[in-house]
Structures are given as C-alpha cells and as structure tokens.
Chain A
C-alpha cells in the first residue's frame, strides 16, 4: 500500500488527525491534501488580523515543515476531485491519483454565496485569501455587513475597529436569532450600537451595484444603502461535491456514526462531518474549532485501531467588542424547552433542555457558571422540575444542581 492514511482537508481537523495517527502508527505513510495554498492556519485568528491586533503570519499553526518533521506529507494547492471507495483511490485536480488504506474526509466548508446580482462585488470572510482581499481594500469608510451569525459579528466588529462606519443588515430578528432569546439579542445589539454600529433587522439583500465612488446595496423592501464595502456572511456549505458517485453517504455533510465512520475504513471529521450526536439523538454538523480539532483526534485514533466515541460537548466563543458570546453543545437540536437565566448586566444564560437533561447552552455576557453548565450537559445530569425552576433564577448556584 502506497499511502496508508489519506486525509482530504488541510484544516485543523485534518492536521490534528494526521498528528494523532502518527502517535499511534510510527511508520505508515500519511498524506494530507489541502486545497488552499497555505500552511495549516487558524480561521479563528482572521478577525484579529483584520482589526490589526495580530500580524498575518500569526494565523499559521503548522507549516509543511512542522508536519514533515512528524513524517506527514502535506500537499496543498490541489484538491481531490473524486473518490472511488471500491478501488480505494482518489483523483486529484493535477491529474494524478492516489491510492489509500484508510481515508479521512475533513474537507471543511465553503462560505455560502449571496448569489444575487452583484455577488462579485461582495466581500467574504472565511479564508486567508478572503482576509487578504479585505486587507487590500484601500479605504473602508463605510461598510455594510449582511448576515446574522458569528462570522457576521466578527466581520462587523473587525471593520468597526478599523474605523469603518458599519451597518449590519440581516433577514432575522437580530443576531443569532434562531438560538437566542430577546434579552440576549438586545445585549448584542446594544454592544454593537455602543461602538457606533447600526443594526437593521428583517431586511433582505437583493443586489449590489458598483457605482462611482463605491457600492450600492439594494434591499427587498425597496431601500438601499451606499458603502465602500459589502461583506456577506450567510453560513457555510460543507464541501461534499467531490463525493458524488463515490458510494459514500452524504446528506448536508458526510454522514458518519458516533465513531465518525462513514463506511469501512472511511471517516469524516470537522465542518463536513454530519455525525451522530448521541446527546441530541440525531445527526448534526457542529462547525466550530473545538469540534473540528477533537473530531480529528477521535477519527485519527479510530483510523489506527481505536474504538472511540465522539461525545465531547464542544463550545465556541467570540467577543462582540467587550461582550462575550458563547454557544455550547447542539443549540440547533430540537428541544422541549429553554431555561432562560437573565444576567443582571444584560444578556442571559440559556439552557436547552430535552426531556429532563440539558443538551446545549448559550451565554451572552460573562459565563461565570461555565464549569457547572459544561458538567450538566456532559454528564447528562437529570433535572427535576424543581431543578429547572431553580436554574432559571440567577441567584441559584448552578453547581448545586450537579449533586
């Protein structure tokens, strides 16, 4: 066998998996194929570079040399165009093919395009190349950011910190509207407004037009807005196109079980993995750093003979200026109720409860109970009706519910 372990995707999931495989298998050939022509880098650091707090070279986490020192081949700038699972072989965009013993699909996701008229004038904020385009924009006096998720918040905050007058436009009823209660949405809006950012909800972008001196965004309600830059952030689409006809099951992403197996000898991890979340009782994609990294570890170990279940409660945090925003566990999972625990300073802690157990949480504002909430979810602590009621009262010490 030529390549024992082939990894499609050079992000944190793929790189972590490669390093984990190497820990368990000192000799087998490991190759990582990444389509971006860059070393392994952290997307999480892109906002720090965009707003000037970090230099671009800080985003690099592993170079090809770092990986080569561990005996890992890191091939970039080419992509896998198809997989033949029966023949255990992939076709690569440079015309070559590569046989494998075991395969990890960690191909990540791509920013969903606006796709309306004038999409080519829009700025995205997903990749290092996107960052370079953003940084090369000579002068951003005014910016419009379209979208209501984490990435939109990051982009808006970065642009505002660079001195731009920013307007955020979104279809929903505030940032992260599907997951957050009203008090939390208000807290984010207020944090934005304190820093001069304008928020417009219930507005849909129709088209973007280049005019002399800037861009003009047109909305479905007939309104329009001029700005130097239009940033678009509409979520991420898992990169699964190259798997058509491969025989590997896909839905939104690559469908894998709780051990991250798609089929015999084939695994998936990170933003592309639609994994069986045992706590949620359904398949889901968890597109965050912690998830990608730990799925890479589990998949890598399982590719070398381990039999581990991915059962980690992953979380992701950003700061909307000074306001911390944390999502923990599957906030996208259908739940029976949400326990809302208001913070005195604004914002809330929400516990997402399915049956008698918490499966996810959001915290807008200081997350002083983080340890207790993590344990409540991770250890599947049973919450009685009295405990649920107590949890909603900010005076209750959540750690008391653990015993």
Chain B
C-alpha cells in the first residue's frame, strides 16, 4: 500500500442536483454536513470533523454528490 500522506481537505462542493437526500454523509460526518429544508445536504463546517471522517462521508454518498479538493485544488474524491 502507498505511503500515507496527511489528508487535507481545503474545499468541499455538494452538487445539489445529484443529492437525493440519502443523508449518509450527515450520519457519518454530522459536524460537516446537514440536511436543509429541501432535503439536500449542505456544508456546515469544513473542519467540523476529522478529514478522514469527511472523506468517509463523501465516499458514503450513493450519488457521488460530494466533491473534495486538497490545498492545491486537486480533486481528492470522487476517485473515478
């Protein structure tokens, strides 16, 4: 396995059109995401959870609606 470098998430984008309100992200990373009145996920605090937890929250999204970027603007997630 590759050497682990520290995960730094500098930007989170949620595609409202893709979000179906499954709320898995909120279940995993409740400090970072919440559901709004239209049942769409929105960002609460980019530092609301550990970076690994936020990544897990993004990975859990069934519609891949959560995009994570590092400090150089490179997309961390989705991987594909």
Contacts and interface: CB of A to CB of B under 8 A. Distances in A.
Interface of A: 12, 26, 39, 42-45, 48, 53-54, 57-58, 60-63, 66, 69-71, 289-290, 293-294, 312, 315-319, 324, 326, 366-368, 370-371
A53 B18 contact: yes
B18 A317 contact: no
Contacts of B21: 317, 319, 324, 326, 367
B24 A289 contact: yes
A290 B27 CA distance: 9
25 contacts: A12-B62, A42-B62, A44-B20, A44-B22, A44-B63, A54-B63, A61-B80, A66-B79, A289-B22, A290-B22, A290-B23, A290-B24, A290-B60, A293-B24, A293-B60, A315-B22, A315-B23, A317-B20, A317-B39, A319-B20, A319-B21, A326-B21, A366-B38, A367-B39, A368-B37
A153 B15 CA distance: 22
Interface of B: 1-2, 17-18, 20-24, 27, 34-35, 37-39, 59-60, 62-64, 78-80
Given A44-B22, A293-B60, A324 B38 contact: yes
Given A316-B22, A317-B22, 14 more contacts: A12-B62, A53-B17, A54-B18, A61-B80, A63-B80, A289-B22, A290-B27, A294-B27, A317-B39, A319-B20, A324-B21, A326-B21, A366-B37, A370-B35
Contacts of B17: 53
Q: Which DSSP category, helix, strand, loop or mixed, fits chain B's interface?
A: loop
A224 B24 CA distance: 42
A71 B22 contact: no
A233 B60 CA distance: 26
Contacts of A26: 1
A387 to B, nearest CB: 24
Contacts of A42: 62-64
A240 B25 CA distance: 30
Closest A-B pairs by Cβ, 5 of them:
A44-B62, A317-B21, A324-B39, A289-B62, A42-B62
B34 to A, nearest CB: 8
A39 to B, nearest CB: 8
A388 B1 CA distance: 54
Nearest to A378: B27
A39 B80 CA distance: 11
Contact of A326 (B1, B39, B59): B39
